[in-house]
Structure 1
Amino acid sequence: MLEDVQARDAAAEPHHDTIPERSTAPRASRRLLLGGSLAALGASLGGLPRLSIISPAAAQGAPAAAPAAAPPKGPQPFDFPGKDKGLVLLGDRPLVAETPESLLNDDTTPISKFFIRNNGQIPEPVANAETWQLKIEGEVEKPLTLTLAELKSRFAAQTFRMVLECGGNGRSFYQPAGRGNQWTNGGAGCAEWTGVRLADVLKAAGLKASAKFTGHFGADPHLSGDTTRDAISRGMPIEKALEPHSLIVWAMNGEPLPHIHGGPLRLLVPGWPASLSSKWLNRILVRATPHDGQGMGGTSYRIPTVPLIPGSNADGKTNFTDMTSMPVRSIITAPANGTRLPATTREVPLRGAAWAGDHDVAKVEVSFDAGQRWQAMTLAKPKNRYDWVRWTGAVTLPSEGYFEFWVRATDSRGVAQPHVATNWNPQGYGSNPFHRTAILVG
Structure 2
Amino acid sequence: MSKRVVILGAGESGVGAALLAQKQGFDVFVSDLGELKDIFKDELDNAGVLYESKQHTREKIFNADVVVKSPGIPDTVLMIGELREKGIEVISEIEFASRFSKAKYVCITGSNGKTTTTLLTYHILKTAGVNVGLAGNIGQSLARQIALGDDKEWYVLELSSFQLDGMYQFRADIAVLMNITPDHLDRYDYKMENYIQSKFRVVQNQKNDDCFIYCLDDENITKELAKRDIKARQFPFSNFKEVSEGAFCINDEIQFKEREDVMSVFVEQLAIQGQHNRYNTMAAGIVARLFQIRKPVIRESLLSFKGVEHRLERVLSVRGMEFINDSKATNVNSTWYALESMKTKVVWIAGGVDKGNDYGELKELAAQKVKALVCVGVDNAKLLESFKGIVPTIVETNSMQEAVKSAYYLGDKGDTVLLSPACASFDLFENYEHRGRLFKECVRNL
Specify the TM-score bucket, using the shorter chain as the normaliser.
under 0.3
* TM-score (normalised: structure 1): 0.27
More helix by share: 2
Q: Which has the higher contact order (CA 8 A, sep 6+)?
A: 1
Q: TM-score, normalised by structure 2?
A: 0.27
Higher strand content, 1 or 2: 1
